[in-house]
Amino acid sequence: MCLKKFSKSLFRALKGLRQVWHDENNFRIEIVIAIMVIVLMFYWQLPILEKISLISMIALVLSLEVLNTAIERIMDILKPKIHDYVGTIKDMVAAAVLIASLAALIIGLIIFYPYLF
C-alpha cells in the first residue's frame, strides 16, 4: 500500500516537472546551466564540499523556479478580481528566484575561479 502511494506521488511530481519544462523557458535554461555545472564539477574533480554546495544551489534555484511557476498560476486564476497585490506577489516570488540565482552564480564563480584562470 505504501509503495503504491509513493509511486503515485512520484508520478504526479514528474508530471509537474514535465509541465514546468514544457511551459517555462527559464526552467529549461536553468536545467542546461545545471548540466554544464555538473559536467564541469566532475571534469575538474572538485572536493566533495564544493560539489555539495553546487548541487544544493542547483536544487534551490530549480525548486524556487517550480514554486514561482505554481504561485504565478494561482495568481493568474485569482487575478485582480481578488486584490491589486496579485502583480506584486508575482514580482516578489520572481525576486526569490533572482536572489537564489545570483547567490548560485557567486558561489559558482568562487568555486570555479581557480580552474578558469
- Whether the CB-CB separation of 27 and 69 falls below 8 Å is answered with yes
Q: Which domain holds residue 99?
A: 2-116
Q: Residue 25: count other Cβ atoms within 10 Å of its Cβ.
A: 8
56-65: per-residue pLDDT in tens? 999 999 999 9
Total domains, the chain: 1
Give one word for 73, left, alpha or beta, with left for phi > 0 and alpha for psi -120 to 50: alpha
Closest by CA to 32, choosing from 51, 54, 58, is: 58
Annotation: binding site for ATP: 24, 72, 90-91
Residue 1 has pLDDT above 70, yes or no: no
By annotation, the residues acting in catalysis are: 65
Output the domain CATH number for residue 8: 1.10.287.3610
Annotation: binding site for substrate: 18-21, 65
Residue 117 has pLDDT above 90, yes or no: no
pLDDT of residue 77: 87
6-56: per-residue pLDDT in tens? 999 999 999 999 999 999 999 999 999 999 999 999 999 999 999 999 999
Residue with cell 512520484: 10
Annotation: binding site for a divalent metal cation: 24, 72
Residue 80 has pLDDT above 70, yes or no: no
